[in-house]
Structure 1
Amino acid sequence: MAKVSKRFKGIQEKVEDRLYGFGEGVALAKELATAKFDESIELHVRLGVDPRHADQQVRSTVVLPHGTGRTKRVLVIAGGEKVKEAEDAGADFVGGEDMVAKIEGGWLDFDAVIATPDVMKVVGKLGKVLGPRGLMPSAKTNTVTFDVAAAIAEIKAGRVEFRVDKTGITHNAVGKASFSKEQLEENAATLLRAILKARPSAVKGQYVKSLTVSSTMGVGISVDPNLAQKEVSGE
C-alpha cells in the first residue's frame, strides 16, 4: 500500500464529500496547491459523448484571457515566404522537410505545431508520432493555416486545445496556482463555455456528466456540473 504524505493527507482532509460551486472549487484548488513549485490548476470535464463515433468527437481551441502561465515553444512547418513570416512572428522553430525528418528522428522539443496547407502532404507522415501526443496540425484547431502569424500569436497568448480522450474526458490546465482566484476562475469559465459551445449535435441527454478541479499535486475537487453551467453562462 502506497504511503500517503502528511501534506497530501492534510489536503484530503480539507476537501468535503460534496459537490462544490464552480468558483468555490477553483478557489479551493488554488488554496490546496502547497507543493514546492508553482502547480498548474486543472479542469477535467467528463462528457456524455461516445468518442468512438466521429459525430461525437469534441475538439477545438480557445484563448484563455490570462494565459496558462507557460510559454509554449511553437514549431512552424512551411515553405517560401511563410518561413520568414513565421520567424518574424516569433516562432521558436521554423523549417520544412528538414523539420519533418528531424521529428522522424525522435526530436520532440516543442509544444505546438503549425503547418501551412501546402506542406501537409509531407507533414501527414508524422501522424503516428504527433497524433497520440495531440500535436498533429489540424484545420479544426487552426494549426493548418496560411495565416501563420495569427496562429503563432494566439498560441503564445494562451490558446489551448481541448479534446476528449477515449473515455470521453477533457483535461486542461487553466493557469498556475500563483494566479489570482479571479484569473483562474475567468480562465476556467472561458474553457468551460468553449466546451459547452462545442457540443456535437449528435449528443442526446446530459452533455456535461461531471467536473473536477485539481492542482498538479492535489486531490480532485468535485464541482456541481449543473450549477457550474449556470455560473459560467451568467444565469
Structure 2
Amino acid sequence: MERRGKKFQAVAKLVEVAKVYTLAEALELATKTNPSKFDASVEVHVRLGVDPRQADQNIRATVTLPNGTGKTVRVAVFAPEAEHDAAKKAGADIVGDETFLKQLDKGEIAFDTLVSTPAYMPRLGKYARLLGPKGLMPNPKSGTVAADVAKAVTEAKAGKVEYRVDKQATIHLSIGKVSFGANKLEENARAFFGSLQSQKPSSLKGIYVKSTAIATTMGPGIKVENQVN
C-alpha cells in the first residue's frame, strides 16, 4: 500500500478489506473509488473452479450488456462485395475484401472487432498469428463468424462482448464506465452473471465460482458475494 499513490491510498480507505459486499454495495463503492482523473472502466473479476485445459470447462461466451460498455467499438467486416452496403448501413467502420487483406499484410489493425462470413474465414488463416494473440480472430462462439454480417455488426456496436477464462481460471470483464452510475452498472453485471451461470459445465464436480471482485481500472479491489452458484 505504501508504494501506491496518495489518491489510491485515499480511496482504498473506503473499502473494508475483510468485508464481502453485496453487488449493489460493491458497484456503488466502485463509483467512489476511482483514483484516476479519467472516466475509468469498472471491471468484474471472477475466479472459477474449472480446469481450462479441459475442453468442456474452457469457458468462452458472449453477452450483450444492456447499457453497452461505454467504449466506442470499431468494427471491421471481411466479406464479399455483395455484403458491403449492408455492413456499412449497420455501422461498420471498415468494410472490404482484397484491400482489407493488404492492410493486414502490413500489420495494420484499426479495429476492435472483426466480423467475417464463413466462406471468407479460410482466407484469414494466414493472419492467425497476427489476430489470434490480440483476440481479434473471428470465432463462431463469439458471433463474429456470421452469414448475416449486418446483424453481427449491430450487436457488436450495441454492447455485445466476449468473455473467456484465462489460464489461471479467471474471467476479467469490463462492464461499463464509472460515469454509468451504480444502477446501470448493476444491470450490466447481472446480464454477465446470468450468462456465466448458463455456461456452467455439466461435468464440473466442485465449486463453479470461487470468488468475485469488482474494481475500477486503477482502483482497489472490492470483494463481492458470488452471484453464480
Fold match by TM threshold 0.5 = yes
Write the letter of the residue equivalent to 2:8. F
Per-residue deviation, residues 139-181 of structure 1 (Å, max 9, x unmatched): 1111101111111111111111111111111111101000121
Per-residue deviation, residues 2-45 of structure 1 (Å, max 9, x unmatched): 73211111122211122111111111111112421101000111
Q: Distance in 1 between matches of 2:208 and 2:72?
A: 32
Normalised to the residue count of structure 2, the TM-score between the two structures is: 0.94
Aligned residue number for residue 5 of structure 2: 5
Write the letter of the residue equivalent to 2:127. L
Q: Which moved more, 1:124-133 or 1:38-47?
A: 124-133
Q: Distance in 2 between matches of 1:168 and 1:60?
A: 14
Aligned residue number for residue 59 of structure 2: 58
Aligned residue number for residue 199 of structure 1: 200
Aligned residue number for residue 173 of structure 1: 174
Aligned residue number for residue 91 of structure 2: 90
Q: Distance in 2 between matches of 1:203 and 1:105?
A: 44
Q: Distance in 1 between matches of 2:192 and 2:45?
A: 11
Q: How does 1:30-45 map to 2 (within 5 A)?
A: 30-45=31-46
Aligned residue number for residue 154 of structure 2: 153
Can you give the 5+ residue segments of structure 1 that lack an aligned partner in the other structure? 231-235
- Identity in percent: 45
Aligned residue number for residue 133 of structure 2: 132
Q: Matched residue of 1:31: which SS? A: coil
Matched, 1:28 2:36: no
Q: Which moved more, 1:122-131 or 1:62-71?
A: 122-131
Matched, 1:67 2:68: yes
Write the letter of the residue equivalent to 2:83. K
Write the letter of the residue equivalent to 2:156. I
Q: Which segments of structure 1 move beyond 4 Å, counting only runs of 4 or more?
A: none
Q: Distance in 2 between matches of 1:155 and 1:194?
A: 17
Q: Which moved more, 1:1-10 or 1:36-45?
A: 1-10
Aligned residue number for residue 101 of structure 2: 100
Q: Distance in 1 between matches of 2:158 and 2:12?
A: 34
Q: Summarize the Cα distance change of 1:186–1:144 in structure 2 as closer, same or farther, 3 Å threshold.
A: same
Can you give the 5+ residue segments of structure 2 that lack an aligned partner in the other structure? none
Q: Distance in 2 between matches of 1:204 and 1:194?
A: 20
Residue 66 of structure 1, CA deviation: 0.4
Q: Summarize the Cα distance change of 1:98–1:204 in structure 2 as closer, same or farther, 3 Å threshold.
A: farther
Contact 2:8 2:35 in 1 (8 A): no
Q: Distance in 2 between matches of 1:104 and 1:209?
A: 43
Q: Distance in 2 between matches of 1:229 and 1:196?
A: 6
Q: Distance in 1 between matches of 2:84 and 2:71?
A: 25
Q: Distance in 1 between matches of 2:3 and 2:181?
A: 32
Normalised to the residue count of structure 1, the TM-score between the two structures is: 0.92
Q: Matched residue of 1:143: which SS? A: coil
Contact 1:97 1:122 in 2 (8 A): no
Contact 2:43 2:216 in 1 (8 A): yes
Residue 84 of structure 1, CA deviation: 2.0
